[in-house]
Structure 1
Amino acid sequence: MELGLKGKIAVITGGSKGIGLATALLLAEEGAEVAIVAREEGSLRSAAALIKERTGKEALAISADVSRPEDAARAVEQTAAHFGGVNILVNNAGVSAAQPFEKVETDAWTADLDLKLLGAVHFARAVLPYMRQAGGGAIVNVTAIGGKTPGASSLPTSVSRAAGLALTKAMSKDLAVDQIRVNAVCIGLIRSAQIERMWQAASPELSWDEFSADKRHGIPLGRIGRASEAANVIGFLVSEAASFVTGTSVNIDGGISAVL
């Protein structure tokens, strides 16, 4: 299938590792220009080098704090100045923050919402003029299945992710007139540095394949997912192949979620 991504310009937050990096690699392989945004300059340099090695593309690496609107505006302006515009935004920045309700302090609520919800808002607002100028665009907000079915001790992350889903639907309604599509993906267990730490802490005697397939995870497809599998869905949603898809969410969870 031709995705129609050649020559498109993408901004990917949280783009130096995990799903963000896998998405940057996929888009670059499909011919897009990519700007990766993260806070750690060392990780950004390593990610840009990997993208160059695997795809031949020079990624633009931008150090920024997505929770700061001025950083979002700067990152988008740098991207547009370097590549000539912005067609795609993947709001992927975020970290897991999961505790029981009574243990979550006010500062933790604020920090999580600033990062996961307002970070997406800041970047979306910054890309709108460029997408309108281009005649349209595509935004994907990366959330989690806990935003649909919050579990015990899942705060504040599950609330921030639920807000991200509401943001996605509302934005899709407002921006459709400009041919800007807005969708979300809801992530389940996907291999990452955090999941690998969980593996080493809980079951260091197991190989990765054994840990991934452990029935205690409760994943119907029988294993933990790969970052590239999440990137494939994101790549579809931002592509011309999904030109009539907006305002929806896709679970990338191996079937573990109880809801559509």
Structure 2
Amino acid sequence: MQLGLAGKVAMITGGSKGIGLQTALQLSQEGVRVAICARDAAGLEKAKRYLFNETGQEVFTVVADMTNKADCARFVAETVTHFGQLDILINNAGTAAAKAFDDVSEELWEQDVALKVFAAIYTMRMALPHMKTRGGAIVNVTAIAGKTPGANSLPTSMSRAAGQALVNAASKDLGKYNIRVNTVCIGLIRSAQIEQIWKQSHPSLTWDEFSAKMGEDIPLGRIGKTEEAANVITFLVSDAASYVSGTAVNIDGGKAPSL
């Protein structure tokens, strides 16, 4: 399958680790020129070295906090200045925040919505002028909790639901510019946070044993791999998905009861 990604420019928020880093790797391997941002300068530098060692491709990095509107604008502007164009936007920055309704502070509500909703709105708006004349692809990373929220899932489930509505509505408005907008809804995927739980709570288990234990209620029976999420994102921003827009793809091993 020809993905048609070579020569394109992508920017990825939260690109220094996890799904963001793995997606940066896969896009770089496809010939995409990639810009990543994160708040941690040291983590960004480590990611930059890793990506160069793996692909031989230089990655442009910007230290930025996506809860800050000015930083959102600066990341877009510096990426376009550096590469001269913008074709792909991946809004991946996010954190896990899951509590009962009466345990969520006002500060946490505001922080979560700022990071998971407004950051995506700001980067999409600021990327739009650069994509209007050439088309483009946007993928916002959300979570299956946005489709099927459960107890003790706030504020994440609410902000992710808003993010999924944003994608569906924006795809209707931006299609006339040949800009496709989709979301991937993440389930249980291997991350630094999951690995910490593994080492603290089940140090005697191998990763595969721990993955199977955590995946007992997942039809595929295990925790997902970061590259499995990155594979779907890479497909969605590629020419191979040129007629896919306004959709929400579950990456959860079949756990979610909704499509």
Instruction: Summarize the Cα distance change of 1:215–1:194 in structure 2 as closer, same or farther, 3 Å threshold.
Output: closer
- Write the deviation string for residues 129-180 of structure 1: whole angstroms up to 9, x where unpaired: 11113x2000000000000001110100010100000000011011001110
Deviation at 1:107, TM superposition (A): 1.1
Question: Which residues of 2 match residues 1-260 of structure 1 at below 5 A?
Answer: 1-133=1-133, 135-214=134-213, 217-260=216-259
* Paired residue type of 1:4: G
Deviation of 1:32 after TM superposition, in Å, equals 0.2
Q: 1:202 Cα deviation (Å)? A: 2.3
CA distance in 1, matches of 2:245, 2:216: 31
Q: Distance in 1 between matches of 2:127 and 2:56?
A: 26
* Superposed CA offset, 1:184-205 (max 9, x none): 0000010000111121232122
Partner SS, residue 31 of structure 1: coil
- Report Cα offsets for 1:43-97 as digits up to 9, x if no partner: 1001111111111110001100111111111111111111111100000000000
Whole-angstrom CA distance in 1 between matches of 2:200 and 2:101: 24
Distance 1:119 1:174 in 2: 19
Aligned sequence identity (%): 58
> Is the Cα–Cα contact under 8 Å of residues 190 and 225 in structure 2 kept in the other structure?
yes
Q: What is the TM-score of this pair, normalised by structure 1?
A: 0.98
Note if contact 2:215-2:221 (Cα within 8 Å) is conserved in structure 1: no
Distance 2:23 2:95 in 1: 17
CA gap of 1:86–1:215, structure 2 versus 1, over 3 A, is: closer
Long gaps (5+) in structure 2: none
User: What SS does the aligned partner of 2:152 have?
Assistant: coil
CA distance in structure 1 between the aligned counterparts of 2:215 and 2:96, rounded to whole angstroms: 20
CA distance in 2 between counterparts of 1:112 and 1:157 reads: 7
1:214 match: secondary structure: helix
Instruction: Note if contact 1:144-1:185 (Cα within 8 Å) is conserved in structure 2.
Output: yes
Q: CA deviation at 1:215?
A: 5.9
Equivalenced residues, count: 259
Contact 2:218–2:254 (Cα < 8 Å) also in 1: yes
8 Å CA contact retained: 1:67, 1:122: no
Per the alignment, in what secondary structure is the counterpart of residue 86 of structure 2?
coil
Give the TM-score, by structure 2 length.
0.98
Contact 1:66 1:122 (C-alpha < 8 Å) held by counterparts: no
Q: Alignment partner of 2:95: what SS? A: coil
* Segment drifting more, 50-59 vs 216-225: 216-225
**Cα distance in 1 for residues equivalent to 2:56 and 2:230:** 19
Partner of 1:86, secondary structure, is coil
Specify the code of the residue in structure 1 equivalent to 2:248. S
Alpha-carbon distance in 1 for matches of 2:128, 2:242: 18
Runs of 4+ in 1 over 6 A off after TM superposition: none
- Alpha-carbon spacing, 1:216–1:53, altered in 2? closer, same or farther (3 Å): closer
Unaligned segments of structure 1, at least 5 residues: none
Q: Distance in 2 between matches of 1:15 and 1:111?
A: 19
- Between the aligned partners of 1:125 and 1:49, the Cα distance in structure 2 is 30
1:118 shift after superposition: 0.5
SS of equivalent residue, structure 2 residue 142: strand
